[in-house]
Amino acid sequence: MSILPSHLSRAERRVAIRNLARDNAAQPSIMTEVPVDQWPAAMVGIVIRFWRSQRFLAQLHPERGGILRLSVNRTTTKTGERWEDGITWDELQAVKAECGFADTWAVEAYPPTDNVVDVANMRHLWLLPKAPAFAWKQS
């Protein structure tokens, strides 16, 4: 899945990537909630909340059993094909906190190979209503 339309020429793609960089620079430095009237039309009705910063984008999705999923990706691309990869644990923890979930337990899932879905460089945190039984806690 390409971030930018596939019909763009190499020169047009470079301009679009520069425009994305300029748009990123105009965003707040920390995650800030985006009002619904500014969401892409395709997200309305699918996403509960949406945040944006210069470096990250996060979407809150409802999941089965009352669980919420926070999907996070970078806002940069080198080729226009995929978002840049490599979100660190510290960055993910900071995004979770900036989106208002600092005190919420969250987990990532690593499914069996047959169930892997890899359509974008995104990280997904399932926000839990309480600490899981296997949780490590500081004493």
Give me the domains of the chain, ranges plus CATH numbers: 10-128 (2.60.40)
Over the Cα atoms of the chain, what is R_g?
A: 16
- Predicted confidence at residue 116, as pLDDT, reads 87
DSSP classification of residue 119: S
- Predicted confidence at residue 107, as pLDDT, reads 95
Distance, CA of 55 to CA of 74 (rounded, Å): 6
- Predicted confidence at residue 111, as pLDDT, reads 87
- Predicted confidence at residue 19, as pLDDT, reads 86
pTM exceeds cut of 0.85: yes
List, in sequence order, every beta strand (DSSP E) within 1-139.
32-33, 49-52, 56-62, 68-74, 105-107, 122-128
Which among 21, 75, 16 is positioned nearest to 50, based on CA atoms?
Answer: 75
- Predicted confidence at residue 139, as pLDDT, reads 65
For the chain, 139 residues long, give each residue's pLDDT as a single digit of tens: 456 677 778 888 888 888 889 998 999 999 999 999 998 888 888 899 999 999 999 999 999 888 999 999 999 988 888 889 999 999 999 999 999 999 999 999 988 999 888 878 899 999 999 999 998 887 6
